[in-house]
Amino acid sequence: MMLRMRAVDMVEDAGFTAVEAINADDALAILESRSDIELLFTDIQMPGSMDGLKLAYAVHERWPLIKIILVSGQLKLTDNDKPVDSRFFGKPLDVKQMIAELQDMIGNGALKIAKDVAALIATAPHPESNGKAIRPGSPGSTQEFLTAENDSLRLLLEQAGIDAKVLLAQAGIDAKERETADKLQKLILEELHHRIKNTLATVSAIASQSLRTATSIEHGQHAIEGRLVALGRAHDLLLQARWANASLEHTIRGATEPYVSIGSGRISIQGPDIRITSGAVIALAMTLNELCTNTTKFGALSEPAGRIEIVWKIDETAQRLHLTWSEKNGPTVHAPSRQSFGTRLIGTLGQQLKGAVKLAYDATGFVYVLNVPMASLVAPA
């Protein structure tokens, strides 16, 4: 979800209008219904009935004039692996390079961009710069730091492989068993490397999106810190559940406890506990963090008598979950004049889980409603 929002910003910063698809099936449906799509920008590891590479071949065969950009943090493609004239880039993506590639492939866009994120980041003080701006690519820049981190990670993974072979030899494991163990270790290390690269890309997206709508560097810093802490809490919960299905009730409690204690009388949660998938845990935790942050600043929790009610139920007939966040006894609320990143993030959750999100700024308090199919929350038996 975060990486898709990041891709949308790259497209818009290049001067074009982005049309989002949550998976390959959705992308094909959009292409069949429109004739104004000029370029497909897809991650190879995308969800759906086919991955991004198969989607690219399907699009190239049916719509040969549509240009294609493929990205991946796990695979490396040669010219023989991808459709003719398509372009491939490994993660993490360089924002300026991607904007230049988009414009090179389909020309300069007509949209007027209000804020240049790259310029904002370039003029932001670095923690070790004594208040001076550090430009990307210069000594001490974020790009240099991430490059050093990736080199360190590579060395650690190589050393882990060497250590494992020594231990296996000392244990007297025969060659066939050692070969099997080597293959298993290689698979685990590749998955670890892929997850770390995706996490770095997600952190980059959070930072960029938060700075994009920040009114000041301090405001952007607080927003980034809050979202990264929320992401960390979600990962802690998944680690406890061994990255399998986690409890919906525990997810809600874990996301709200840092802002208001469950036993304080200022928040109530009620609904049947179910086990939800790792993707749903992270998306829901991030959304609840946004709701808690907003209510603490502007909503019910900004008033001594304010309180929050979180209620969910399952429609057994339709096999859907309905979750409602209601604020009571708070200040009068009004719809915002512009859509912030937090509001976009909350709304995108509905798309991510193939459901719908409604936001109501009622006189009695803000209300958030999530309506999603159970199939998007619960792993198949």
What value does the mean pLDDT take over residues 89-117?
A: 69
Query: Which one has a higher pLDDT value, 171 or 256?
Result: 256
**Cα–chain center distance at 254:** 19
The 10s digit of each residue's pLDDT in 269-317 is: 999 999 888 778 888 888 888 888 888 888 898 888 899 999 999 999 9
pLDDT range class, residue 234, cuts 50, 70, 90: low
The enclosing H or E element of 366 equals strand 365-373
pLDDT at 136 (0 to 100): 44
The CA distance from 279 to 299, in Å, is 28
Strand order from edge to edge, sheet including 267-270: 267-270, 307-315, 320-328, 365-373, 356-362
pLDDT at 160 (0 to 100): 65
Query: Which one has a higher pLDDT value, 189 or 363?
Result: 363
Is the per-residue pLDDT at 243 higher than 80?
Answer: no
In this structure, what token pair is assigned to residue 136? Answer: 């990307």
Is the per-residue pLDDT at 113 higher than 90?
Answer: no
pLDDT at 116 (0 to 100): 40
Is the per-residue pLDDT at 170 higher than 90?
Answer: no
The Cα-based distances of 248 to 90, 124, 234, 377 in angstroms read 35, 38, 11, 9
pLDDT range class, residue 200, cuts 50, 70, 90: low
Between strands 365-373 and 320-328, the pairing is: antiparallel
pTM of structure: 0.53
Query: Which one has a higher pLDDT value, 135 or 50?
Result: 50
Q: What is the mean pLDDT of the chain?
A: 76
The CA distance from 73 to 202, in Å, is 12
What value does the mean pLDDT take over residues 157-184?
A: 64
Is the per-residue pLDDT at 128 higher than 50?
Answer: no
pLDDT range class, residue 328, cuts 50, 70, 90: very high
- Asked if residues 231 and 282 have their Cβ atoms less than 8 Å apart, the reply is yes
What value does the mean pLDDT take over residues 63-90?
A: 87
What value does the mean pLDDT take over residues 70-91?
A: 85
What value does the mean pLDDT take over residues 217-238?
A: 72
What region, left, alpha or beta, does residue 137 occupy, with left being phi > 0 and alpha being psi -120 to 50 degrees? left
3-state secondary structure of 327: strand
Is the per-residue pLDDT at 370 higher than 90?
Answer: yes
- Asked if residues 302 and 330 have their Cβ atoms less than 8 Å apart, the reply is yes
84-98, 120-134, 182-196, 230-244: segment of lowest average pLDDT: 120-134
pLDDT range class, residue 155, cuts 50, 70, 90: low
In this structure, what token pair is assigned to residue 277? Answer: 């998938």
19-23, 149-153, 357-361: segment of lowest average pLDDT: 149-153
7-11, 95-99, 104-108: segment of lowest average pLDDT: 104-108
Is the per-residue pLDDT at 319 higher than 90?
Answer: yes
- Percentage of the chain modeled with pLDDT above 90: 14
Residue type, 58: A
pLDDT at 120 (0 to 100): 43
